[in-house]
Amino acid sequence: MSTNSNASEATDSNPFSALGEALDAAAESVGNARADATESAKLAAAKFQTGVSSGSYYAAYGISYGLIFGGVFLKELLPATHPIRRGIEDGAEAAIDAASTAARSTPSGEDDEDDDDEEAIAPAAVPATEARKAD
């Protein structure tokens, strides 16, 4: 018991040592809290990024699925000679051609091939009924 009484006597006799011990304990607590907060913030940011990524993926998937499925369903529902069906088919072909042309183009936006590609794509974009009217 003599050690406890000596420690309390030392603390009572020197108020600055008690203040120093309190400041050390506070600094240690703040340091631990900062480290814990940093880890928590990193974990929260990672979870948020994962949530945003998966949310945007499922939104894009749903939109794409809905548009493509709806278009294909409508196309198959209509008779082969119906103008809307032909328009859907011609538009799909033009979109596929444009996408493949864009994939072949260089990063600067210029085509590797001649400017004749534009002439080859242009007739596909014109519906068959308008091409017949022009003749």
Q: pLDDT (tens digit, 9 = 90+) per residue, 92-115? A: 999 999 999 998 885 655 555 555
pTM comes to 0.44
Residue 120 — pLDDT band, cuts 50, 70, 90?
A: very low
Q: Kind and range of the H or E element at 113? A: none
DSSP 115: T
Q: In this structure, is the dihedral angle defined by the CA atoms of residues 24, 25, 29 and 30, taken in order, positive or negative?
A: negative
Residue ranges per domain, the chain? 1-57, 78-135
